[in-house]
Chains A and B, each alone.
Chain A
Amino acid sequence: MNSLNVIVCIKQVPDPQQLSKITLDPIRKTIRREDVPAVINPLDKHALEEGLRIRDEYGGRVTVVSMGPPQAELACREALAMGADEAILLCDRAFAGADTLSTSYSLSLAIKRIEGFNMILCGNETVDGSTGQVPPQLADFLNIPHVTRARRIEFTKEKTARVERSIEYGYMVVEVTLPAIIAVTKEINVPRIPTVSGILEAHQREVKVWAPKDIEAEEERIGLAGSPTQVVDIFSPEIGRKGEILRGEPEEVAKLLVQRLHELGVI
């Protein structure tokens, strides 16, 4: 099996362990994230770990690509500390406000400038939007196949990956030709902790920062301008902890409870 050049897409997100600190500005209808430390999206760490393992086994390069505000440079730096060979950050005001379509478009332009990649790994979803839409959309912009919810990746022959993809109550086995995008779940591996020398080396290296002109992006297709979906309102859900007590016949309350949980989107 030849060496594989892997691109890993990462996103910096609010620390999911501290999401309770996120507040809503009720007047400006924006989300205040300042009090919440930012981390690499947990599933992206699993993606990066998988890329590093593939490189460690087969040889090749791991290039990390991200899109975000200036502080996302820290996430890229952490990826370098974990062992990535190169990090590229798309950073510019014009990229801001992007929905998944616009994000995928921008990322695809950056990736097109990277020569000779064999596969792209992503976390299956992020902890903020949790849409899971970027991997398939990025794949379509690049005109390559995609597989989501991957919990195991094997290379059975040249230019082909065999992926176990988890679905409700089981899994699917998918054979995908490379290059492809594979979005991973947390079952796939345990991400490594950076070593001291990894951290020091990472700070000696450069995180490349690219602006729209560096990737020849069309203005109307990036950022908020390039987003067909728009958020017109945000509010706190009316979940008070002094909650709702359901009373009534056992059969009735059982039905009501299950329905309420579906409505809340937790099952």
Chain B
Amino acid sequence: MDFSFTPEQEMLRKTAREFAEKEIAPKVNKMDETGKVPMDLVKRMGELGFGGLLIPKEYGGTGVGHLARIMILEEIGRVSAAMANTLQIHHLGESPIIYFGTDEQKKRWLPSMASGKKIGALALTEPVGGSDVMGIQTVAKKEGEAYVINGRKCFITNSHISDVCGVIAKTGEKELTCFIVEKDTPGFTPGREEDKFGLRGCNTGEIVLENCKVPAENMIGKPGDGLKIALSCIGNVGRPGVGAAALGIVHRCLEEAVKYANQRTLYGKPIADIQAIQWLIADIYMDYEVSRWTAYYAAWLRDKGVRCDAENSLAKFWSTDSAVRCAQKLIDIFGAYGVLKEYVPQRLLRDAWPLVSAAGTLEIMKIVMVRDVLRKYA
């Protein structure tokens, strides 16, 4: 079993790290303060090619695959989970088109999304509850060669910055359908923008659809494919993406913990010599290693075309759960300094928490895992 990465993957990781440290890091504090998305950085990520990682070459992307994608997201997340989540939702917005679109649809939207000229999003969640997918109320009624959509989506990442948005709507009693709606389509309006306590700089908000007329060519797949498309894209792209952002946080927690413990002295010696601190660091290390290898493994399976819903859910569960836990422990290691806004640990905790329920709560992750387990181990 060869656990090493290819030279391309190593260089991609290194480049993502260089970009994150040189260009994102100086803007992190401002992002956290204002909550505004730094569109110049979003543009830069497009220029570097981070927008097209899953898009095949013939549609303007680089098709480097899932493992390379989460390595890049991890490096970005290590500096800013908000930027990582913004990027990964862009990939999620592309995925209905990539995996279920016609050649014509791919040609229409993917090249400009690969370059980052157009930003993607996927609008599924509604006030009825994200976990209750079939309970959504947004309706799409056929009218001639178009569909008219009415409804309200909430907690949508990139709601206010997306140019190409996948919308899941009911076209029948238990029939969900996926439509691509472009920005500035009459009747498609970003609504309230949420003010989160963490992951600030990543835009989360409402989308209001009021008699929004969408041509039939914008339907992905057939009527009724919407559930399959939503679950597949969220499960294979959105979930690992959230997990990778959280993995970046866990990675950062480990680095900050070691750095601080080696420098801070108490009773005349570095606190790294104190066993209680060592145990906290050991805990963070274990969480980091488990998070990363479950994440890389699931991505590796996906790149091989193997179905890996349980593995994806496990990886996302572990890294998001760890991120909160490790950030708490990091704050403990920092002592009173941990709760000061000018130090990093508190931001890592605040950034970690919103990721826990994104792309599926911990409980939903367990449900997905058990479904597979009951089948496999029957």
Point out residues on A near B: beta carbons under 8 Å.
Answer: 74, 77-78, 81, 193-200, 202-203
Contact = CB atoms under 8 A, between A and B. Distances in A.
Contacts of B7: 74, 77, 203
Given A196-B62, A200-B64, 14 more contacts: A74-B7, A77-B7, A77-B11, A193-B19, A193-B22, A193-B23, A193-B48, A194-B11, A194-B15, A196-B15, A196-B52, A196-B53, A200-B62, A203-B7
Interface string B1-44: 00000011001100100110011000000000000000000000
Could you say which interface size class chain B belongs to?
10 to 19
Contacts of A77: 7, 11
B15 A193 contact: yes
Nearest to B14: A78
Nearest to B44: A193
A195 B64 contact: no
B48 A195 contact: yes
A195 B11 contact: no
B50 A196 contact: yes
Interface of B: 7-8, 11-12, 15, 18-19, 22-23, 47-50, 52-53, 62, 64
For the complex of A and B, 6 pairs with smallest distance between CB atoms: A196-B49, A195-B49, A196-B62, A199-B11, A203-B8, A195-B48
A196 B19 contact: no
A79 to B, nearest CB: 12
B8 A195 contact: no
B26 to A, nearest CB: 13
Contacts of B11: 77-78, 81, 194, 199, 202-203
Nearest to B19: A193
15 contacts: A74-B7, A77-B11, A193-B18, A194-B15, A195-B47, A195-B49, A196-B12, A196-B53, A196-B62, A198-B49, A199-B8, A200-B64, A202-B11, A203-B7, A203-B8
Contacts of B47: 195
A95 B182 CA distance: 60
Contacts of B8: 199-200, 203
A74 B8 CA distance: 11
A74 B12 CA distance: 13
Contacts of B12: 196, 199
A144 to B, nearest CB: 34
Contacts of B53: 196
Interface residues of A: mostly helix, strand, loop or mixed? helix
B77 to A, nearest CB: 17
B115 to A, nearest CB: 10
Contacts of A194: 11, 15
Nearest to A194: B15
A152 B23 CA distance: 24
B55 to A, nearest CB: 11
Given A77-B7, A77-B11, A81-B11, A196 B64 contact: yes
A194 B48 CA distance: 7
A73 to B, nearest CB: 10
A200 B62 CA distance: 8
A150 B144 CA distance: 68
Contacts of B18: 193
Contacts of A196: 12, 15, 48-50, 52-53, 62, 64
Q: Which of B15, B18, B19, B64 gathers most chain A CB within 10 Å?
A: B15
Contacts of B48: 193, 195-196
Contacts of A195: 47-49
Q: Which of A77, A78, A196, A200 gathers most chain B CB within 10 Å?
A: A196
A196 B7 CA distance: 13
Nearest to A203: B8
Nearest to A37: B14
Nearest to B10: A74
Q: Which of B18, B23, B49 gathers most chain A CB within 10 Å?
A: B49
A260 to B, nearest CB: 26
A75 to B, nearest CB: 11
Contact of A197 (B22, B23, B49): B49
A81 B9 CA distance: 13
B87 to A, nearest CB: 12
B132 to A, nearest CB: 38
Nearest to B50: A196
Q: Which of A193, A194, A198, A199 gathers most chain B CB within 10 Å?
A: A199
A77 B15 CA distance: 13
A87 to B, nearest CB: 14
A26 B54 CA distance: 51
A199 B11 CA distance: 7
Nearest to A204: B8
B291 to A, nearest CB: 23
A78 B216 CA distance: 46
A198 B12 CA distance: 10
Contacts of B50: 196
A78 B14 CA distance: 10
A78 B10 CA distance: 11
Contacts of A203: 7-8, 11
Contacts of B49: 195-198
A239 B22 CA distance: 32
A17 B62 CA distance: 31
A187 B12 CA distance: 27
A197 B63 CA distance: 10
Nearest to B51: A196
A43 B52 CA distance: 31
Contacts of A199: 8, 11-12, 15
